[in-house]
Structure 1
Amino acid sequence: MYTAKIYVTYKPSIVDPQGEVIQAALQRMNYQGITSVTQGKYFEVNLAAPNVAAAKNEVADFTDALLINQNTETYRFELVSNDDEVQS
């Protein structure tokens, strides 16, 4: 059993309007060291897979198919198994 922690953000070439609004608000609150803010989505998906490679393939497949807009978003993920982190 694995838990996939999936982080979705806009591609670097896409303007992130929510991130810009948050950055401007932080600067108005005198957090002047803030140079950029990226807003995104986070998913945790539990899945049963026979091994790490199969889990990685399944996460990549369903994320590409359902969780992101491939034109505007990108993602990264981590797999966790038995309290040990497995890199994506």
Structure 2
Amino acid sequence: MKARVTIMLKDGVLDPQGEAIRHALAGLGHKGVDGVRQGKIIELDLAETDPDTARTELTRMCEGLLANTVIEKYSIELL
């Protein structure tokens, strides 16, 4: 089973990389971009075949390693 975890900074957390991207886009002539938030996507190939068990294990992975839950939120998608 394949899974995709999307990790983004929580709302209200300053995103300096997103702001740098927004500034660079403006410098390249792309006007009208009012805000950019950047994050990361992690795709995993899992041996698990049960969706509920996979989601539980992925949640444990996110809480334990993949996401800093103090400042980041995550979503899990089974593919």
**Under a length normalisation based on structure 1, what TM-score does the superposition of the two structures give?**
0.82
**SS of residue matched to 1:42:** strand
Count of residues paired in the alignment: 79
Q: Which amino acid aligns with 2:62?
A: T
| Deviation readout 1:3-58 (Å, 9 max, x if unpaired) | 11111111111000000010011112221121211111221111122411111111
Identify the residue that residue 47 of structure 1 maps to in structure 2.
Answer: 46
Q: In structure 2, how many angstroms separate the alpha carbons of the residues matched to 1:50 and 1:19? A: 36
Q: How is 1:7-86 mapped onto 2 (pairs within 5 angstroms)?
A: 7-80=6-79
User: Comparing both structures, which one devotes a greater share of its residues to strand?
Assistant: 1
Q: In structure 1, how many angstroms separate the alpha carbons of the residues matched to 2:6 and 2:48? A: 20
Identify the residue that residue 86 of structure 1 maps to in structure 2.
Answer: none
What value does the CA root-mean-square deviation take over the aligned residues?
1.1
Structure 2 unaligned segments of length 5 or more: list them: none
Structure 1 unaligned segments of length 5 or more: list them: 81-88
User: Identity, % of aligned pairs?
Assistant: 34
**Under a length normalisation based on structure 2, what TM-score does the superposition of the two structures give?**
0.90
